[in-house]
Chains A and B, each alone.
Chain A
Amino acid sequence: MIVVVGLSFRTAPVEVRERFAGDAIEHVLARLASRPELDEVMFLSTCNRVEVLARPKNESGTDGGRARALKAVREELAHHGKISEGDLAPVLYEKEGEDAVRHVFRVTSILGQVKSAYDVAVAAGSLRSFLGRCVHRAFSVAKRVRSETAIGAGTVSISSVAVELSRRVFGELDDRTVLLLGAGEMAEAAARSLGKGAKGIRVCNRSLERATTLAQRFGGVAAPMSALEAELTLADVVVASTASPSFVVTRDLVKRVMRARRGRALLFVDIAVPRNVEPNVHAIDNVYVFDIDDLEQQVALGMEARRSEVASAETIVEQEVAQFLTWARGLDVQPAIVALRAKTRGVLLAELERTLGGRLKHLPEGDRAALVQMVESATNKLLHAPTTHLRRAAGDGDAQSLAATLKEVFELPDAVHDEEETDDDEHLVQ
């Protein structure tokens, strides 16, 4: 099965999460993939969530493999966040097996970024048949959730909360100016929802070219980062989403700006991680700063109101988890089925071979082929019932013991592999 280890806005404050924004995800993934404890691995990093999905190596039988894999992931996460394992432990969540699958399905349903994390892992070759299939399955679950319920992707909700906040502070926005700090995807989403009502949109970005592109699309004005102070003086609502590693908007800057604004109210919506706006800016009179955690909290409250939608999304997730588990448990009995088939077929063909070499030496080629054909279909007919039975038992979760019994009764060897599982299941090779 798989394990999930991570931290999110629910378990870790943004002060901790922003420590994980530094390294490129390819780099972190490469380190994870090089750990011998992990068979398959994927790394997800968003402003709300840092998460490692992995399939432990040598998991079956004793639980040692799983524990070692969890430890390896914890070590890598601590290294990535430049934080001690002791400090990291309280904010981490860990999920295994069925819970992990459910978690992956849920998270994928509300996060678009899982797709890019998946692409990176595929490109790095760190996904194979099991985890790869699980995440792939999660995408179709997400599609179902999106088409069958009203729960949309995360960015939509964040933007609508930003609009709601602006209304609380300014009322109607038709004589208000919205300033976008940063010209990325989040800025664009904010422009789409806030821009409709506003008097004007201004875009301030380190690359003036990108600022201009975005500004043009929404009929706004672009400005270079050097004009930040003047832009802040003009704006009413500021949506910050730059990738800057340090604060772009500091307390001193806003104090100067507020003097220039003659105290007019200013709202910052800081959706960047690490944060762009120094937290104590919120303490300045008539200035309000809402960071990503505050917005998430509002989104969560909004979700509460849509509980029925959440419930139907949960139903979908549960169905899909059950289906996936049936498939995954089927994998457990797959080696037994393959071994049983190989043995039966082997015995029959060997006997046939012997007879054809002796008493039936005189048979022509066509008849020999017909006899081989007969052995094949006899094997299939004979094994149809046990195979079906085994797969059904796998779905109910008690496949292991049945497979063991089968192995014992038929004296099946251990080393037979399903073609799909060639070098995945070293634990079967003793």
Chain B
Amino acid sequence: VKSAVLPVHVIANLMGEALFVLAFAAAVGYLVADKQLKKKHVGGVVSRLPALDALDRAEHAFLLAGFPMLTIGIITGAVWAERVESGSAAEVWRSLFGYATWMLFATVLLLRGWRGWRGKRAAYGTIAGFAFAFVVLVIYLVRSFGEAPHA
């Protein structure tokens, strides 16, 4: 059973992370385009970016696709953790950041659907969520490569 959970966990997390990178890029693009348009600079950077609204929609689409991956990753992670009962500090932090990421993305998606929180607010939420997801990844990498020689 162990061998079934681990690959699903890794693959779901990797795909989720990839989609979040794309959502993050779109969010940053949106913020840049927004800032330029608010300053009424239409040429230059803005002319090379996709349309503002397209960036907003892309960010939402990537987030929407990445979220189920993250959910699967977290569930499989919880199952795995229970199995190995590993309680190292890094492990605890990783799960905490994982849950925080999930909560943040859930909030961004829900607010967008319910309250129409698009644009800047959604972009900031996406960037914050990506930052948490990135921390999770960093903790994982540090732990694995840090521990590898001892294992």
Contacts and interface: CB of A to CB of B under 8 A. Distances in A.
A171 B42 CA distance: 14
B46 interface: yes
A164 B40 CA distance: 13
Interface in A282-296: 282, 285-286, 288, 290, 294
B51 A168 contact: yes
Q: Which bracket fits the contact residues of B?
A: 20 to 34
B46 A168 contact: yes
B119 to A, nearest CB: 4
Contacts of B115: 262-263
A164 B53 contact: no
B52 A168 contact: yes
A301 B52 CA distance: 21
B40 A169 contact: no
Contacts of A263: 112, 115-119
Interface in B87-137: 112, 115-121
Please tell me the size bucket of the interface on A.
20 to 34
Given A288-B37, A290-B40, A170 B51 contact: yes
A265 B119 contact: yes
B47 interface: yes
A301 B46 CA distance: 15
Interface string A252-295: 00000011011111000000000000000010011010100010
B119 A171 contact: no
Contact of A265 (B40, B50, B53, B117): B53
Nearest to B55: A171
A262 B116 contact: yes
A169 B118 contact: no
A171 B121 contact: no
Contacts of A164: 42
A171 B47 CA distance: 11
Nearest to B120: A285
A167 interface: yes
Contact of A169 (B52, B117, B120, B121): B52
B59 interface: no
Interface of B: 33, 37-38, 40, 42-43, 46-47, 50-54, 56, 112, 115-121
25 contacts: A165-B42, A168-B37, A168-B42, A168-B47, A168-B52, A169-B37, A169-B52, A170-B53, A170-B54, A171-B54, A261-B116, A262-B118, A263-B112, A263-B117, A263-B118, A264-B116, A265-B53, A282-B38, A285-B120, A285-B121, A286-B119, A288-B37, A288-B38, A298-B42, A301-B43
Interface of A: 164-165, 167-171, 258-259, 261-265, 282, 285-286, 288, 290, 294, 297-298, 301
